[in-house]
Amino acid sequence: MNATERFLRYAAIPTRSDPDSTATPSTDCQFSLARLLADELTALGLTNARVTDNCFVYAALPATLGLEGQPCLGLIAHMDTAPDYPGEGVKPQLHPNYDGGDIVLSATGAVLSPARFPSLNGLKGKTLITTDGSTLLGADDKAGVAEIMTALERVIASGRPHGPVAVAFTPDEETGLGIAGFDVEGFGAAYAYTVDGGEVGELSYENFNACEATLDFRGVNVHPGSAKDTMVNACLLAMEYNAMLPSAETPRHTEGYEGFFHLEEMEGGVAHARLVYIVRDHDAGRFEARRDQLRHIAKVMNERWGEGAVTLTLRDQYRNMKEKIAPYPFLIENARAAMRAAGCEPFDAAVRGGTDGAQLCYRGLPCPNLCTGGFAFHGPFEHIAAEDMELCARMLEELICLPRK
Residues marked as catalytic: 80, 173
CB 217 within 8 A of CB 238: yes
To 10 degrees, what angle do helices 3-11 and 139-158 make? 140
Beta bridge partners of 268: 273
Distance CA 28, CA 5 (A): 24
Beta bridge partners of 374: 384
CB 81 within 8 A of CB 15: yes
Residue 133, amino acid: G
* Length of the chain measured in residues: 405
HEC profile of the chain: CCHHHHHHHHHCCCCECCCCCCCCCCCCCHHHHHHHHHHHHHHHCCEEEEECCCCCEEEEECCCCCCCCCCCEEEEEECCECCCCCCCCCCCEEECCCCCCCEECCCCCCEECCCCCHHHHHHCCCCEEECCCCCCCCHHHHHHHHHHHHHHHHHHHHCCCCCCEEEEEECCCCCCCHHHHCCHHHHCCCEEEEECCCCCCEEECCECEEEEEEEEEECECCCHHHCCCCCECHHHHHHHHHHCCCCCCCHHHCCCCCCEEEEEEEEECCCEEEEEEEEEECCHHHHHHHHHHHHHHHHHHHHHHCCCCEEEEEEEEECCCHHHHCCCHHHHHHHHHHHHHHCCCCEECCECCCCHHHHHHCCCCCCCEECCCEECCCCCCCEEEHHHHHHHHHHHHHHHHCCCC
**End-to-end Cα separation, the chain, in angstroms:** 31
